[in-house]
Structure 1
Amino acid sequence: MKLYEELKARKEAGEKLNLEELTPELLKKLFFEEELSDYLISQLYDVKESSIAYRRRKYGITIRNSILDELLLAKTDEAKKINEKYKNNLMVNDNLTMISKAITHFAFRNGPIEDMHASPKNQLSQDDMKTLNKFMVNKIAYVFKLIIENRWIELDFLIRHTDMMYGQDWDNAEPDDGDNRELIQMMIKRQ
């Protein structure tokens, strides 16, 4: 049963649906997945249509964001083709230096290491930073070279061997986009 049908059945059974219980996730499901209008959603909760529209905008649940999500998550065949085109344009050996430098900045340089370098205690000299940056860029270049050239056996060995040898007592990874998706959305909205 779809969410709308479930909520409508509850309402018809005499339950008063509380707008405060309409979470962003539920609203997103009703608006995007079930393609309900603000009007139909407002009728479920006995509120003005503008209340639903306001709530959607407040949570960023808009047609524009829906299209952006569809594109970035490659949900449709067309979005998958566009995503594949970007992959093919990016994942070439000519881009190794650009990729490696960008990933080094994203994952290493623009983090705590920069604070250590810039601190008044000057824990890391300029030469130290150059050495660390060069080391990171070269290692990341190798990893991406394996990816670009579809050298999956070598990459698998590198990952599994390194994981067995080091970092077993480290915390689990928690993907952090560094606000990358938000930046993409802002740039798209400007155009």
Structure 2
Amino acid sequence: MGLFEVLTKKKDNGEELKIEELSSDDLRKLYIEENKTDFMIADLFNVKKSKVTYLRRKMGISIRNAMIDDYLANQTEAAEVNRLVKEKILVEDNIDMISKAITHFAFRNGPVEDMHADPDSQLSDSDMKTLNKYMVNRLAYVFTLIIENRRMEFDYLIKNLDFWAGHNWDKAEPDDGGIREEFEEAMRNMRNFRN
């Protein structure tokens, strides 16, 4: 039984849970290891989500810092770290998180956001909500195929759409959006901090 479940039982039994008494190790466990959102933790402790977010940031608890810690702890075994991260991230429970993050990375944080922010734009907030939901749902399907190793269905999806669309588009060029540079800088800073 995980920490979240233990705390939930205590709360259900009438015990008052105080966020101020939650250690950084326990908050890290809830957020990183058990993948509980700030909202879920806030609900458990009957506080505002912003209070949990503030505490996490104050304690340096973030997905990014956890990735860095995992990487630095196993520098000589980078291949093993990548395998472990793959097993941890590519699971069905993470499809919603992955789909939303990739939608932000590949769609929302790009030209469409500029178009939406333009005062002369015809993209309303409702239009953006529709587009975001569409993207998240489609990506959720793609990541479901990948995570569940439904390779034949994934192959069918790719080849079926490749046959009909995209032939006149420019060749795909990987664009990390600056994430690689940020990751490498974070690695350097963490190494310097630990030395």
What's the TM-score, normalizing by structure 1? 0.59
The corresponding residue for 1:28 is none
C-alpha RMSD of matched pairs (Å):
2.2
Where does the alignment leave 5 or more consecutive residues of structure 1 unmatched? 1-67
Structure 1 position 190, deviation (Å): 2.8
Equivalents in 1 of 2:101, 2:117: separation in Å?
20
Structure 1 position 188, deviation (Å): 2.0
Quick one: higher RCO (CA 8 Å, sep 6+), 1 or 2? 2
Say whether 1:149 aligns with 2:140.
no
Structure 1 position 189, deviation (Å): 2.6
Say whether 1:189 aligns with 2:185.
no
The residue type equivalent to 2:134 in the other structure is F
The corresponding residue for 2:19 is none
- Structure whose CA Rg is larger: 1
- Deviation by residue 1:15-38 (Cα, 9 ceiling, x = unmatched): xxxxxxxxxxxxxxxxxxxxxxxx
- Deviation by residue 1:120-172 (Cα, 9 ceiling, x = unmatched): 10320000000000000000000000000000000000000001011111111
Cα 1:189–1:174 shift into 2, 3 Å: same
The residue type equivalent to 2:86 in the other structure is K
Equivalents in 2 of 1:120, 1:161: separation in Å?
38
Structure 1 position 77, deviation (Å): 7.7
The residue type equivalent to 2:180 in the other structure is R
Equivalents in 2 of 1:126, 1:190: separation in Å?
39
Structure 1 position 79, deviation (Å): 1.2
Q: Tell me how many residue pairs correspond in the alignment.
A: 120
Equivalents in 2 of 1:146, 1:120: separation in Å?
39
Look up the SS of the partner of 1:122 in the other structure: coil
The corresponding residue for 1:108 is 107
The corresponding residue for 2:88 is 89
Equivalents in 1 of 2:122, 2:157: separation in Å?
31
Q: Give percent identity, aligned residues only.
A: 57
The residue type equivalent to 2:110 in the other structure is G
Equivalents in 2 of 1:91, 1:117: separation in Å?
32
The corresponding residue for 1:171 is 170
Equivalents in 2 of 1:157, 1:175: separation in Å?
23
The corresponding residue for 2:120 is 121
Equivalents in 2 of 1:183, 1:143: separation in Å?
27
What's the TM-score, normalizing by structure 2? 0.58
- Deviation by residue 1:101-128 (Cα, 9 ceiling, x = unmatched): 0000000000010011000103200000
Look up the SS of the partner of 2:119 in the other structure: coil
Where does the alignment leave 5 or more consecutive residues of structure 2 unmatched? 1-67, 191-195
Cα 1:162–1:187 shift into 2, 3 Å: same
Cα 1:157–1:77 shift into 2, 3 Å: farther
Extract structure 1 runs of 4+ deviating beyond 6 A. Answer: none
The corresponding residue for 2:132 is 133
